[in-house]
Chain A
Amino acid sequence: MIIPKLAFQNILGAGLRTWLNVIVLSFAYVAIIALNGIYGGMQEQAVQAQIEVEYGGGQFWQGQYDPYDPFSFQDAHGALPPQLQNWIEEGNATPVLIRQATIYPNGRLRTILLKGINPDQTVLNIPSHFLADEKDVTPALIGSRMAKSTGLELGDYVTVRWRDKNGTFDAQDVEIVQIMNTSVQTVDNNQIWVPLNDLQTMTQMEGEATIVVVDRNFQNREPIEGWTFQSLDVLLKDLMDMVKSKTIGGSIIYIVLLMLAILAIFDTQVLSIFKRRKEMGTLMALGMTRVKVIELFTVEGAVHGVLAVLVAVIYGTPLLVYLATQGFPLPASTDSYGFAIGEKLFPIYSAQLIFGTIILVMTVTTIVSYLPTRKISKLKPTDALKGKLT
Chain B
Amino acid sequence: MKKIISLLFILNISVSAAQTPSGEWILERIDENWVSGNKIYVTNMVIHGRRGADRTIQSKSWIQGSEKSFTEYLSPAREKGTKMLKLEDQLWTYTPSTDRTIQISGHMLRQSVMGSDLSYEDMMEDTELKELYDAEVTGEDTVISRPCWVVELTAKTSDVAYYSRKMWVDKERFVVLRAYLYAKSGKLLKTTEIKNVIRVQGRWVPNVIVFKDALKEGEGTEFIIESVEFDVDIPDYIFTKAALRR
Contact = CB atoms under 8 A, between A and B. Distances in A.
Contacts of A171: 183, 185, 187, 189, 215
Contact of B106 (A100, A102, A106): A100
Contacts of B162: 168-169
Interface string A160-185: 01011011111110000000000000
B213 to A, nearest CB: 7
B216 A168 contact: no
Given A106-B217, A107-B216, A161-B215, A170 B185 contact: yes
Contacts of B243: none
Interface stretch (B11-19, B31-39, B41-49, B107-115): B107-115
A342 B63 CA distance: 53
A168 B185 contact: no
Which of A111, A161, A169 has the most chain B CB within a 10 Å cutoff?
A169
A104 B181 CA distance: 17
A169 B183 CA distance: 5
B108 A70 contact: yes
A70 B108 CA distance: 8
B112 A109 contact: yes
A107 B110 contact: no
A328 interface: no
B184 A164 contact: yes
A113 B185 CA distance: 20
A167 B159 CA distance: 5
Contacts of B22: none
A249 to B, nearest CB: 29
A248 to B, nearest CB: 30
Contacts of A101: 110
A108 interface: yes
B161 interface: yes
Contacts of A72: 106
On chain A, which size bracket covers the interface?
A: 20 to 34
Nearest to A75: B106
Interface in B175-205: 183-185, 187, 189
Interface in B145-186: 155, 158-163, 183-185
B163 A169 contact: yes
Contact of B161 (A73, A104, A107, A168): A168
Interface string A205-237: 000000000000000000000000000000000
B103 interface: yes
Closest 6 CB pairs of A and B: A107-B217, A70-B106, A100-B107, A171-B183, A166-B158, A170-B184
26 contacts: A70-B106, A70-B107, A73-B107, A74-B106, A100-B107, A101-B110, A102-B110, A104-B216, A109-B111, A111-B108, A111-B110, A111-B111, A113-B107, A161-B189, A164-B184, A167-B159, A167-B160, A168-B155, A168-B159, A168-B160, A168-B161, A169-B183, A169-B189, A170-B185, A171-B183, A171-B215
Interface of A: 70-74, 100-102, 104, 106-109, 111, 113, 159, 161, 163-164, 166-172
